[in-house]
Structure formats: C-alpha cells, structure tokens
C-alpha cells in the first residue's frame, strides 16, 4: 500500500484493534488479488533507524503469519505505537498476534487477553 486514499479508506471503513505496541487495522476487499499491507511508523515511534527496524520487523511478522489468515483479499495496516521501538521482537510478535486474533484474522485462542 502506498496511496494515502487506501490508508484513509482502511481507517474510515475498516476494523481496528489496539494493543500495547501496535494498532492493527483491516478491511476486506474482494477486488484485491492478495493481501495488501501497509506500515505506519511516525516520528513518535522513535528515531529513523528505530522506525526502519520496526518496519522490517512488521514485514517479517506479516510474512510469517499471513499464510494462516482465513481470507487474504484484504488490506492490513500495522501502526507502531510509542514505545514499540523499545520492545523486543517477541513482545511485538505477541502483541501483533493478539490483535490479529481479536480481529478474527487468525484462528486459535487469544494470548494473554
């Protein structure tokens, strides 16, 4: 995802769940051929190298867990919250997975909620 309009549409008409380190937003769209992902890391997330590391970590999470999604024709936006740059990868992954389950993207029991 690169267009501002796509991010705005997901925010306006999609569903979102907020965790300690991430906010996960999603919107189903049957016109898509596959999963479209976007990552938002503002200056409040940390310095430039922290934001770049967060985007790499978010891409890794999507690559690892998106194949388990029930429906892949959707937009998926991951927003870093303040403090995410100080979290370990395991903490980010647990929080990301918790929000994905709350949104119904992954099947299985919620972790820690």
Break the chain into its structural domains and give their ranges: 4-102
Q: What pTM was estimated for this model as a whole?
A: 0.88
**Mean pLDDT, the chain cut into blocks of 10 residues (113 residues total):** 90 95 94 92 94 97 89 92 95 96 78 48
Cα–Cα distance, 24 to 34 (Å, whole number): 18
Residue 59, both tokens: 């891409």
Give the per-residue pLDDT at 69.
Answer: 86
Domain 4-102 CATH (choose: 3.40.50.2000, 1.20.1260.10, 3.30.230.10, 3.40.250.10): 3.30.230.10
Please tell me the predicted confidence (pLDDT) of residue 94. Answer: 97
Task: Identify any residues that bridge with 26 across adjacent strands, giving them in sequence order.
Answer: 15, 76
């Amino acid at each position: 995802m690169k267009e501002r309009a796509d991010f705005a549409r997901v925010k306006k008409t999609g569903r979102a769940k907020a965790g300690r380190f991430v906010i996960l937003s999603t919107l189903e769209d049957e016109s898509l051929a596959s999963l479209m992902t976007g990552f938002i890391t503002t200056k409040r997330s940390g310095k430039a190298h922290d934001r770049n590391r967060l985007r790499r970590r978010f891409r890794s999470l999507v690559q690892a867990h998106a194949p388990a999604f029930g429906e892949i024709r959707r937009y998926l936006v991951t927003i870093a919250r303040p403090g995410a740059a100080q979290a370990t990868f395991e903490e980010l992954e647990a929080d990301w997975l918790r929000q994905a389950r709350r949104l119904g993207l992954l099947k299985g029991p919620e972790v820690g909620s």
